[in-house]
C-alpha cells in the first residue's frame, strides 16, 4: 500500500464545512455544551494560527487557536484539536499542535490556554493553571485546565475570567 504524505497547512475558509464534519465525527453533539466551546463560540478563531492536516485530499485533522482574554491579559485558547478516528495515533495531533504553537510564538503571542488531558499536552509545555488564578464561564475540571507560556512570566500576568477577546489580538 502506498503511504500518502501528511500535509499540515493553514486553515482556509473553504475548510469550514469539512472541519465541522470532523468535529461532529470526533466529538458528537455533546461538544456544544462544553465550557471551552462556549468561549470559542464568542469569538472567531484565527485562520493564520489554525491548521489542518491532509492525507492526499482528505482532511484528517484540525487545530484552532481563538483569541481570548485571561483577566486583562491577551491569550489564545487552543481547541478543538481533532483527528479523524481512522487516523489516530499517527502523530497528526502532535504535528498540528507544534505548528500552531510555532505560529503563535512567531506572531508574538505569549500565553495559550486549553481544557484537556495533562498527560498528553504536557509534552508541549502545558501545565495546570493554579486554582483561583483563572476562571472559566462554566464548569471545568481543574486538573484539565492547562496553560503554556510562550514567553516566560506570561501566566503571572493573567488573573481573572477567561472570555472571548473583544477584538482580534
So what's the pLDDT on residue 34?
A: 62
d(CA 8, CA 13): 15
So what's the pLDDT on residue 163?
A: 93
Dihedral angle sign, alpha carbons of residues 119, 52, 30, 28: negative
Least confident piece of the model among 13-27, 59-73, 107-121, 147-161: 13-27
Neighbours of 21 (CB within 10 A): 12
Span 90-112, pLDDT tens digits: 999 999 999 999 999 999 999 99
So what's the pLDDT on residue 5?
A: 87
- Number of C-alpha atoms within 13 angstroms, CB side, residue 9? 14
So what's the pLDDT on residue 126?
A: 98
User: What torsion, rounded to 10 degrees, do the Cα atoms 12, 13, 19, 21 define?
Assistant: -150
Span 124-154, pLDDT tens digits: 999 999 999 999 888 889 999 999 999 999 9
Dihedral angle sign, alpha carbons of residues 70, 140, 147, 114: negative
Span 30-72, pLDDT tens digits: 554 566 667 777 688 999 999 999 999 999 999 999 999 999 9
Higher-scoring residue by pLDDT: 36, 19: 19
Statement: residue 12 has pLDDT above 60: yes
Amino acid at each position: 500500500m502506498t503511504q500518502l504524505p501528511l500535509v499540515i497547512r493553514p486553515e482556509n475558509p473553504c475548510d469550514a464545512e469539512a472541519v465541522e464534519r470532523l468535529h461532529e465525527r470526533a466529538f458528537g453533539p455533546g461538544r456544544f455544551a462544553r465550557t471551552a466551546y462556549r468561549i470559542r463560540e464568542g469569538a472567531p478563531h484565527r485562520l493564520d494560527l489554525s491548521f489542518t492536516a491532509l492525507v492526499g485530499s482528505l482532511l484528517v485533522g484540525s487545530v484552532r487557536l481563538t483569541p481570548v482574554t485571561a483577566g486583562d491579559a491577551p491569550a489564545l485558547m487552543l481547541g478543538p484539536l481533532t483527528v479523524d478516528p481512522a487516523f489516530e495515533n499517527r502523530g497528526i495531533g502532535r504535528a498540528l499542535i507544534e505548528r500552531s504553537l510555532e505560529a503563535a510564538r512567531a506572531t508574538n503571542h505569549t500565553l495559550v490556554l486549553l481544557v484537556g488531558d495533562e498527560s498528553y499536552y504536557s509534552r508541549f509545555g502545558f501545565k495546570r493553571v493554579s486554582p483561583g488564578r483563572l476562571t472559566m464561564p462554566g464548569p471545568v475540571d481543574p486538573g484539565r485546565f492547562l496553560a503554556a507560556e510562550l514567553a516566560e512570566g506570561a501566566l503571572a500576568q493573567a488573573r481573572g475570567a477567561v472570555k472571548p477577546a473583544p477584538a482580534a489580538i
